[in-house]
Structure 1
Amino acid sequence: MPLDHQLEAMFAGQPEWPPVRNFPIDALRDAVRSSSVQLPPPAVTLASVDDRTIPGPAGEIPVRIYTPEGAGPFPLIVYFHGGGFVVGDLDTQDMIARGLSAGAESVVVSVGYRLAPEHKFPAAFEDSWAAVQWTAANATKLAGDAALMAVAGDSAGGVIASACGLLAKKAGAPKLSAILNWYGPGIHPIPAEGSAIEFADGPVLRLDDAHFFWDMFITDDADYQDFRASPMKASSHEGLPPTFIASAECDPIRDAVEAYGPVLEQAGVKVEMQRYPGMVHGFVSWVGFLPGAQAAMADACAFAKMQFAASRRNA
C-alpha cells in the first residue's frame, strides 16, 4: 500500500515525529498547535467566523461559529476536533471547520471541549453533547434551521460525533440528518490485528500513540464498555441517521474505523464508507493543499447536503 506521493515527498524533508509518550503533555500540545496553525486553510470565503462561549456542565465551553455566504436559515453542523482527547483546540482544526462550512453550506459550531488528562472520560463527551443541545436550542439566533442538523468530527472528534448520534437517538432530540466521521474508530481499545499491525509504526500515528492517548483519557478499562468510548458497543444502532465514514489507507486504526460501518448497515442505517488511498491518519487537516484531503472534504460535504435535502423533503 504505497504512501501518497505528495505525502512521501513532504515527509522526506522533515524529521520523523517522535512517539507521543516522549513528550510532556504541555510540550505535546504546543508542538501539535505550532505545526497545525501553520497549515494553509482551504481557499474558501465565509460570511463570518465568531468566537464565543456557551454554558457547559463544568463551566463555559469555547466555540467558534462559522457562517457561510448566502441567505439563511442554513443547516447546522456541530464539529468536534481530533487530537486523541488530549491535544487540539479551536485553532488546530480551524481549516477543517472552514472547509465544512463552505462545502456543506452550513453554519458550523466548532467545540473546544475539555481535554485529558486533566479532564478524564466522559468530560469531552459531556461538553460536546451540551454543545449539540445548545446549537439546537439557539438555531434561529445562529441563522440556522434546527430541523437540519448534523454532527461531524475527525479522529477523536469522529468518536464524539458517533457518540452524539447515539445520545440524540436515546434522547429523542435533536433529530440529526447526518453523522460525518473522518477516521474516528468505532471500537476501543484498538484491536491488535490487520492495519494496527501493518502500520503500527506509522507514518504519523503509531499504534502506541493511540493507546497512549486513551491511557490519558480513561479512568479504567471499564470505560471501554461505554458506547461513548466504543460506539460499536451500543445496545442498539437502529434509527441512527445516515452516516459518512472516511478512513485513511495507511493508518493503524483504519480497520477499527471501518469496522463500525457494517454494524450500522446491519441495523438498517444508511452508510457511505470511503477509504482514501495513500492517506495517513489526520490527513483532512491538509485540506488546504492535499488532493486526497480535498476529496475527503468534498465527499463528506456532498453527503451532508444530500441528507439535508432528504430531510427537507421528508419534513
Structure 2
Amino acid sequence: MAIDPQIAQMLAAMPTWPGVRHVPLDILRKSVRESSIAIPPAADAIIGRTEERLVPRPGGEIPVRLYWPEAEGRLPITVYMHGGGYVVGDLDTQDMIARALCAWGDSIVVSVDYRLAPEHPFPAGPEDAFAAFRWAADNAVELGGDPDRLALAGDSAGGNFACAVALMARDAGGPQARAVINIYGPCNCPETETPSALEFADGPLLTQDDVSWFWEQYLSDPAQAEDYRASPVRAASHAGLPPHFVVTAECDPSRDDAEFYAAKLADAGVTVEAKRYAGMVHGFASWVGFLPGAREALKDAGAFLKTHCAA
C-alpha cells in the first residue's frame, strides 16, 4: 500500500526515531508536546472563542477547554478526548482537531485533559472522560448548548475513550449521546496479529511495539483488557448505542482492530459509517492544517455531527 506522497516526504525529512520504549517518559512527553503545538490548525476552522475550566470528578477536578463556534442559538455539545497512547498529550497537542470539530460540526466542544498513565493507569482515563460527559450534560444550558444534542469524539486513545463512554452511558441510563466520532481508536487491547499489525509492524510513525508499550503503561494488570472500558469491542453487547463514525488510516497497524469494532457495531444494529483514508498513517488528523486527507476526515466528521445532532 502506498503512503500519501506528502506524508512520505515529511517522514523522509525526520530524524530516525528509536520508538517510544527507548525514550524516557519526560523526554517523550516534551517531544510530543513541542512537535504537536508547532502544527498549524486549519486556517478556515474559525471559531468564536475558547475558555478554560475545571470540572469535578470523584476525588478531584479535570481541566477542560471549551470551544464555541460562531454559530448562534442552542448548539450541540461534543465532548472530545485527545490521543497520545494514554501516556502523552494534553489540551494543546490536539487543539487543531478540537477547533476543526467545533467549526465544521457547528458544535460546542469540551476538550478533556484526562489523567495520564502510568501515574494514573486504567480506569482513570475513561472515568475522567465519563465525568466530563456528565458535566457537559448537566451544564449544557449554561454553556449555551442543548442537553438533548450531545456527542462524543476522540482520536486514537481518545477514540477508545469516546467509544467506552458511549457504553458506560448506555449502561448507566444516560446521558445519551446522539453521535460518536472515533478517529483511529482501535477499541481493543491487541492480542492477535491482524493483517495491518503485521504489514505495518515497523510503522510508519506508530509501530506495533509502540502500541504494546502504550498498553503496558496503561493497564496495571493484563486482565483489565477484558473490561469494556479498556477494550470496547469486548462489551457483552453493543446494542442500543448511538450512531458511530469510525475513521481509519490505511497505513496503520491498529487499522484492522478499529474496522473490526465498526463491523461489531453494525452487527449489533448500530448505525455506523466507517471510512478508510487512503495513504494515511496513524495520527494524520492532527495535520488538518496542511494535509488534504486530514482535512477530508475532519470535514467528514463535522458533517456526521451536523447530521446526527441536528435540532
TM bucket (normalised to shorter chain) is: over 0.9
Displacement, 1:46? 1.2
Give, in whole Å, the separation in 2 of the partners of 1:58 and 1:219: 20
AA at the equivalent of 1:269: V
CA contact (8 A) 2:245 2:301 kept: yes
Q: Does 1:27 align with 2:24?
A: no
The match for 1:156 is 157
Q: How many equivalent residue pairs?
A: 310
d(CA) in 1 for partners of 2:296 and 2:289? 11
Equivalences for residues 28-47 of structure 1 within 5 A: 28-43=28-43, 44-47=45-48
**Matched residue SS, 1:148:** strand
Q: Shift of residue 172 of structure 1? A: 1.6
Residue aligning to 1:59: 60
Label 1:296 to 1:218 Cα distance change in 2 as closer, same or farther (>3 A): same
- The separation in 2 between residues aligned to 1:287 and 1:190, in whole angstroms, is 32
State the shift of 1:60 in Å: 1.3
CA distance in 1, matches of 2:130, 2:177: 13
Deviation at 1:190, TM superposition (A): 4.9
Structure-2 residue corresponding to 1:123: 124
What does residue range 145-224 of structure 1 map to in structure 2 within 5 Å? 145-224=146-225
SS in 2 for 1:259: helix
Q: Secondary structure at the match of 1:61?
A: strand
Deviations 1:243-264 (CA, angstroms, capped at 9, x unpaired): 0000000001110111101111
Partner of 2:254: 253
Cα offset, 1:12, TM superposition: 1.4
Tell me the residue number matched to 2:306.
305
Residue aligning to 1:267: 268
TM-score by length of 2: 0.98
- Quote the Cα distance in structure 1 between the aligned partners of 2:291 and 2:57: 36
1:16 is displaced (CA, Å) by: 2.6
Equivalent residue letter for 2:6: Q
Q: What corresponds to 1:294 in structure 2? A: 295
The answer to whether the aligner puts 1:69 opposite 2:65 as a matched pair is no
Farther off after superposition, 49-58 or 138-147:
49-58
Q: TM-score, normalised by structure 1?
A: 0.97
Cα distance in 2 for partners of 1:275, 1:98 equals 22
How far apart, CA to CA, are the structure 1 residues paired with 2:18 and 2:38? 19
For structure 1, list consecutive stretches of 5 or more residues without a partner in the other structure: none
Query: Which letter does structure 2 place at the counterpart of 1:195?
Result: S
How far is 1:72 from its partner? 2.2
CA distance in 2, matches of 1:150, 1:204: 29
Confirm or deny: 8 A CA contact 1:191 1:256 kept in the other structure: no
Deviation at 1:229, TM superposition (A): 1.0
Amino acid at match of 1:173: G
- Cα-to-partner distance string for 1:202-255 (whole Å, 9 max, x where unaligned): 000000001100100101111000001111111111110000000000001110
Q: Deviations over 1:95-130 (max 9, x none)?
A: 000000000000000000000000010000111100
Name the SS of the counterpart of 2:309 in structure 1. Answer: helix
Q: Output the amino acid matched with 2:285.
A: V
Give % identity. Answer: 55
Q: Is the 8 A contact 2:194 2:257 kept in 1?
A: no
Please say if residues 100 and 297 of structure 1, whose CA atoms lie closer than 8 Å, have aligned partners that are also in contact. yes
